[in-house]
């Protein structure tokens, strides 16, 4: 097919010039470093500085932060989805479920950016969200198997996994290098709480719609405090 030829989905993307491709690669590599260190609230300007490119070059390659996040983390979301597949392949549903939790939390602990990705949704990051949805569908199946085996408490809900990831992201952010393995205790506490038989009923789930709104809000940077006496 000729470069730029029409495809069933519309015009094909023009191939990048070699210098533009190098800049794109440098930006992605820099974003991996910055997001892993500082999380997703890191600015596009800080990524541009890490990549040693101008901010105009940054926005030519990635007009929005979501496009950059998609490029940086699509493969990691793929690895996350693969972890669910590995869990489904385990002949013991509970062992597979626990192994998935440990693997997913370890991925969060290893990369602050990915810790944020698992608790944030990016509607326009198509590849990232497609892999997230694949992982979710597989996880629903795994949860059903673990419940059928009598090992996962019956009132467990998929939203509990979102809460687990939110808790892990908070612990990873709060402990940093001072206590890098603290997340392991948190994950173990959650696993023990998830296991059947349940010792007591759980409070009502916050609900998928509420958590989705929370994940959308998590995409926004924290507000900058206003100076005392600052005008509107």
Same-domain status, 86 and 200: yes
Same-domain status, 53 and 96: no
Same-domain status, 176 and 202: yes
Q: Is the pLDDT reported for residue 232 higher than 70?
A: no
Note the pLDDT of residue 17: 66
Q: What is the CATH number of the domain that holds 83?
A: 1.10.357
Does residue 131 lie in a domain region? yes
Q: What is the CATH number of the domain that holds 29?
A: 1.10.10
Same-domain status, 77 and 57: no
Residue-wise DSSP of 12-40? PPPPPPHHHHHHHHHHHHHHHHHHHHH-T
Tens of pLDDT, residues 170-229: 999 899 889 999 999 999 999 999 999 999 999 999 888 888 888 887 665 544 444 444
Does residue 82 lie in a domain region? yes
Tens of pLDDT, residues 71-122: 999 999 999 999 999 999 999 999 999 999 999 999 999 998 898 898 888 8
Does residue 7 lie in a domain region? no
Strand-strand pairing, 10-11 and 6-7: antiparallel
Does residue 6 lie in a domain region? no
- 13 membership: H or E segment, kind and range: none
Tallying the residues shown for the chain, one arrives at: 232
Same-domain status, 156 and 181: yes
Same-domain status, 30 and 96: no
Whether 121 contacts 219, CB under 8 Å: yes
Q: Is the pLDDT reported for residue 14 higher than 50?
A: yes
Q: Is the pLDDT reported for residue 58 higher than 70?
A: yes
Note the pLDDT of residue 16: 52
Lowest mean pLDDT among 10-19, 49-58, 144-153: 10-19
Does residue 27 lie in a domain region? yes
Same-domain status, 193 and 117: yes
- Which tokens is 212 given? 């989705």
Same-domain status, 53 and 78: no
Structural domain range at position 116: 73-217
pTM exceeds 0.85, yes or no = no
Note the pLDDT of residue 223: 45
- The number of folded domains in the chain is 2
Q: Who wins on pLDDT, 10 or 116?
A: 116
CA distance readout (Å), 111 to 4, 39, 108? 37, 8, 5
Distance of CA 120 to the CA centre of its chain: 6
Does residue 167 lie in a domain region? yes
Does residue 176 lie in a domain region? yes
Same-domain status, 43 and 145: no
Q: Is the pLDDT reported for residue 13 higher than 70?
A: no
């Amino acid at each position: 097919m000729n470069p730029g030829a029409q495809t069933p989905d519309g015009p094909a993307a023009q191939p990048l010039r070699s210098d533009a491709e190098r800049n794109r690669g440098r930006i992605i590599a820099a974003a991996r470093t910055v997001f892993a260190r500082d999380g997703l609230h890191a600015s596009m300007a800080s990524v541009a500085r890490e990549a040693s490119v101008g901010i105009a070059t940054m926005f030519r390659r990635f007009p929005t932060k979501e496009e950059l996040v998609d490029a940086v983390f699509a493969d990691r979301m793929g690895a996350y989805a693969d972890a669910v597949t590995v869990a489904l392949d385990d002949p013991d549903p509970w062992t597979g479920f626990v192994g998935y939790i440990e693997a997913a939390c370890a991925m969060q602990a290893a990369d602050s950016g990915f810790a944020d990705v698992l608790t944030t949704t990016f509607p326009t990051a198509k590849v990232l969200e497609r892999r997230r949805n694949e992982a979710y569908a597989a996880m629903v199946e795994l949860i059903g198997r673990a419940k059928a085996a009598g090992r996962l408490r019956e009132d467990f809900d998929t939203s509990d996994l979102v809460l687990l990831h939110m808790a892990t992201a908070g612990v990873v952010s709060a402990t940093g290098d001072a206590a890098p393995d603290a997340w392991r205790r948190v994950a173990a506490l959650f696993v023990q709480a998830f296991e059947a038989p349940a010792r007591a009923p759980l409070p009502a789930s916050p609900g998928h719609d509420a958590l989705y709104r929370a994940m959308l809000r998590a995409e926004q940077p924290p507000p900058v405090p206003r100076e005392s006496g600052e005008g509107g």
